[in-house]
Chains A and B, each alone.
Chain A
Amino acid sequence: MAENRIHEKSPWQDITEGNQIYEPATSRQFCTGEWRTCTPVYLAERCRQCLLCVPVCPDSSIPVQEGKRQAFDYDHCKGCGICAKVCPFGAIEMKEGK
């Protein structure tokens, strides 16, 4: 699939009908994290792994492995700050900029 992908130099004849995309999960390749103006910082030493931050993230940017949250996915985190708001332990702080 990947080699057939249309790109920014593709002529109009190659554009798929209605821009349809015939493969799953391509939004992962779209780094919406570039839009971020504030960045959450994870303070692991304060974190009790309650995982409250995980389900509230609108961009699924807090990965979990074996019941423990991992570092932020900054490719997709837009810096909304909801995770910092819900964290009961002050383990997420928001800083200005990317």
Chain B
Amino acid sequence: MAIRERLSGNEAVAYAIRQINPDVMPAFPITPSTEIPQYVANYIANGKIDTEFIPVESEHSAMSAAIGASAAGARAVTATSSCGMALMWEELYVAASDRLPVVLALVNRALSGPININADHSDSMGARDSGWIQIYAESNQEAYDNFLQAYPIAEHASVRLPVMICQDGFITSHGVENIQLLEDDKVREFVGEYMPAHYLLHEKEPMAVGPYAVSAYYMETKRAQREAMKNARQVILETAARFESLTGRKYGFFEEYRMEDADYVIVLIGSAAGTCKAAIDEIRSATGQKVGLLKIRVFRPFPEEELANALRDKKAIAVLDRSEMFAATGGPLGAEVRAALYSAGSRAEVVNYFYGLGGRDITVDDFKEVYAKLERLARTHERTDMYTYIGLRER
């Protein structure tokens, strides 16, 4: 029987860490993820787990220590947000290219500047090319469930890549929701023991991790890394299937909400999906207009083919980005969804919005307006304002 609780997203992730009892957690506090290492430190101090907590002097050191621990053969975890992850920048790439299955609990927060502590995706979207698997949550439940699936994906022999489990700062990290938790023994059985084939502390096999790769090797190394990311697709789905048989909760690359007959679709990542679903229900019961949502859960690897299949025959699509990329066009999700649709030969109208930057609120009415615009776009095909904003003050 599942355990019914009420937890914040940070509490839920810390609870999952307690249940997994990883070997090493180096961490440095930063809003809004501070509570995760704080709660884990409590679990350790109270003798609930025997994780080695390293109170490092910066996030650069946190990720470095996680890499060292992982290379040594330990299961490593850390948590951060925003500029904390920016300070891990160099190490993010090292963890991925060294093929170390570190797990990072990322609580998404806007990058400076201007300095801001609220939710957007500029931190993780900035790291989208670092070689990490990225899995995003709409709710506290999803943050917990995704975290439990992180190690089985990261440590799988055909993957061996680091995973970041992302949730929206404050919105889910500090918002308390009803949640269903698994029993400790079930979690331990699901996640399993970490048994790396090679590790630095193996006394019978001296080895080197992360050697210099001259130009004769670098490109082949990156190609092999890409293969691991491609393999992750299958492993993510298999892990989700195993999780579903344990909990009844179904996960995939993305969630489709009222998409079967939908003509007008919003694509987004994260907690705003809840508000969007409320708008969809209201619109459908008020006008019958066929509106739907595709909520991305896995952004890396990018589920290009599956996404295109789900979207190609829709009339109009709005892709909502919660981070800038200053191409002076649209955002990262917009660009990748458009590319996927183009490759699939889709003729759907696509418009790209920025929303929620630095924690700007997005409401049910905002979503209704987007759907109304999509309906107009599909009818008139007037191609203006293809990159625009929700909730921006303008003259």
Which of A6, A12, A21 is within 8 Å of B207, CB to CB?
A21
Chain B 95-128, CB within 8 Å of chain A: the 1/0 string? Answer: 0011110000000000000000000000000000
**Inter-chain contact B207/A20, CB cutoff 8 Å:** yes
0/1 interface trace, chain B 126-139, chain A, CB 8 Å (1 if under) = 00000000000000
SS of A interface (majority): loop
Tell me whether B288 is interfacial, beta carbon within 8 Å: no
Cβ of A66 under 8 Å from chain B: no
Which of A22-30, A68-76, A80-88, A90-98 binds B? A22-30
The DSSP consensus for interface residues of chain B is loop
Asked if B221 and A21 sit within 8 Å, CB to CB, the answer is: no
- The CA-CA distance from A19 to B217 in the complex, in Å, is 9
A-B contact count (CB 8 A): 52
Please report the C-alpha to C-alpha distance between residue A13 and residue B224 in the assembled complex, in whole angstroms: 7
Task: Say yes or no for B160: interface residue by CB 8 A criterion.
Answer: yes
Which B residues, 205 to 224, have Cβ-Cβ distances below 8 Å to chain A? 205-211, 213, 216-217, 219-221, 223-224
Chain B residues whose CB sits within 8 angstroms of the CB of A67 once the complex forms: none
Contact indicator A12/B206 (Cβ below 8 Å): no
* B200, chain A: closest CB distance, angstroms: 10
Contact (Cβ within 8 A) A19 B206 = no
Contact B210 A12 (CB under 8 A): no
Q: Are B217 and A18 in contact (CB under 8 A)?
A: no
Q: Does A3 contact B (CB under 8 A)?
A: no
CB nearest neighbor in B for A17: B99
**Beta-carbon nearest neighbor of A9 in chain B:** B216
Cβ contact of A15, chosen from B100, B205, B210, B217, cutoff 8 A: B217
Q: Which residue of A lies closest to B216 (CB)?
A: A8
On whether the beta carbons of B207 and A18 are closer than 8 Å, the reply is: no
Q: Determine whether the beta carbon of A22 is less than 8 Å from that of B205.
A: yes
**25 CB-based A-B contacts, threshold 8 Å:** A6-B217, A10-B220, A11-B220, A12-B219, A15-B217, A15-B220, A17-B99, A17-B160, A17-B198, A18-B98, A18-B160, A18-B209, A18-B210, A18-B221, A19-B211, A19-B217, A19-B221, A20-B99, A21-B208, A21-B211, A22-B207, A23-B207, A24-B207, A25-B206, A26-B208
- Residues of chain B touching chain A, judged by Cβ–Cβ distance below 8 Å, are 97-100, 160, 198, 205-211, 213, 216-217, 219-221, 223-224, 227
The interface of chain A, by Cβ under 8 A from chain B, is 6, 8, 10-13, 15, 17-26
